[in-house]
């Protein structure tokens, strides 16, 4: 597998994982606001929700960065004339 295929596969993996993580966050939100919980249970759920939200954010950023790397064109040589214009 070459680098481009590797990046595409990584992006696909991230995009497949994001909805599952968001579903977990939604389930936690439902439990937080509909069930009576002890203070300890509430703290644990809020902590887990925060961890999942951070993971979602990090994965979204990583996928965007990987996608942008693939889209960037290779740098062409730039020549500067005596007038300092880039051609």
Contact 47, 25 (CB under 8 A): no
Q: Is residue 85, in this structure, part of any structural domain at all? A: no
**Of 11, 24, 12, 9, residue with least CA distance to 54:** 24
Which two structure tokens, joined as six digits, stand for 65? 């960065």
DSSP symbol at 84: -
What residues make up the domain containing 62?
Answer: 3-71
pLDDT bin (cut points 50, 70, 90) of residue 40 is very high
Tell me the per-residue pLDDT of 41-61, one tens digit each, with 9 for 90 and over. Answer: 999 999 999 999 999 999 999
Q: Is residue 83, in this structure, part of any structural domain at all? A: no
Q: Is residue 84, in this structure, part of any structural domain at all? A: no
Tell me the per-residue pLDDT of 69-87, one tens digit each, with 9 for 90 and over. Answer: 655 555 555 555 555 444 4
pLDDT bin (cut points 50, 70, 90) of residue 33 is confident
CA 63 from chain center: how many Å?
5
Question: In the predicted model, what is the mean pLDDT of the chain?
Answer: 82
Q: Is residue 80, in this structure, part of any structural domain at all? A: no
């Amino acid at each position: 597998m070459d680098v481009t295929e590797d990046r595409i596969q990584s992006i696909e993996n991230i995009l497949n994982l994001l909805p599952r993580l968001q579903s977990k966050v939604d389930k936690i939100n439902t439990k937080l606001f509909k069930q009576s919980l002890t203070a300890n249970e509430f703290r644990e759920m809020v902590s887990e929700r925060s961890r999942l939200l951070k993971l979602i954010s990090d994965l979204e950023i990583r996928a965007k960065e990987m996608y942008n790397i693939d889209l960037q064109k290779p740098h062409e040589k730039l020549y500067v004339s005596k007038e300092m214009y880039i051609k």
